[in-house]
Amino acid sequence: MKQFIDKHPVVAILRGVLPSNAINIAQCLYDHGIRVIEVPLNSPQAITSIANIVGALPEDCLIGAGTVITLEQVKQVNNAGGKLIISPHCDIDIINYCLANNLDVIPGIATPTEAFLAYQAGARWLKLFPAETYGCAHLKALKSVLPRDAHIIPVGGISQKNASQWLSFNAIAVGIGNSLYQSNDSVDTVTAKVIQLNKVLNINLLDDK
């Protein structure tokens, strides 16, 4: 996971994307530096979109699913080639299965109790959700008590306007959905959004060349 986040500190959430435009949208994000992309499973034909993206994008990116709530869904994502499993909650069985099958897993947590349960099960990447409900001070408090190798990715209400603030409170990355992609957005629309995001995060893609 770290190698992909080191390239760009954003997990792109393509909620509502259709298989017909999933590749074009994902390629646009990839071209602008993003290396971690999730398709929430409550999107139409999400498994097909994941398979399409996995088949089209280079191997130096991590593709998978969000809103994963059952083991059966984990297996479907894995069968489609997805290697990232993100949940809105902390499910120990899902964590154990992912770790045993070389899948990157990011369980959802909100409280210290949930965070430590996930950590003790082996998860090192945690999704603070819904982030906007708790705020940056909550993230700071969690980071102060968790082991140093526990990384937190806030999701929910993150946008171009506040992404830098969350990162300044030691979020390892941020998950961005509606502010980066909304259902039926064109490639041009997503391009404008990701360019603005890179600008506020001071990401210069020329540095990688």
Fold of 2-208: TIM Barrel (3.20.20)
Location of structure tokens 């980066």: 180
Active site residue 140: no
Residue 173's pLDDT is 98
Q: Which of 7, 83, 127, 193 is catalytic?
A: 127
| pLDDT tens sequence across 30-54 | 999 999 999 999 999 999 999 999 9
Residue 209 predicted with pLDDT over 90: no
DSSP E strands in the chain: the ranges are 10-13, 36-40, 62-66, 84-86, 104-106, 108-109, 125-128, 151-154, 174-176
Active site residue 59: no
Residue 91 predicted with pLDDT over 50: yes
What is the distance between the alpha carbons of residues 59 and 152, in angstroms, rounded to a whole number?
24
Q: Closest by alpha carbon to 146, among 124, 175, 127?
A: 124
Q: Which of 7, 38, 83, 193 is catalytic?
A: 38
Residue 136 predicted with pLDDT over 60: yes
What is the distance between the alpha carbons of residues 82 and 15, in angstroms, rounded to a whole number?
16
| pLDDT tens sequence across 139-169 | 999 999 999 999 999 999 999 999 999 999 9
Residue 77's pLDDT is 98
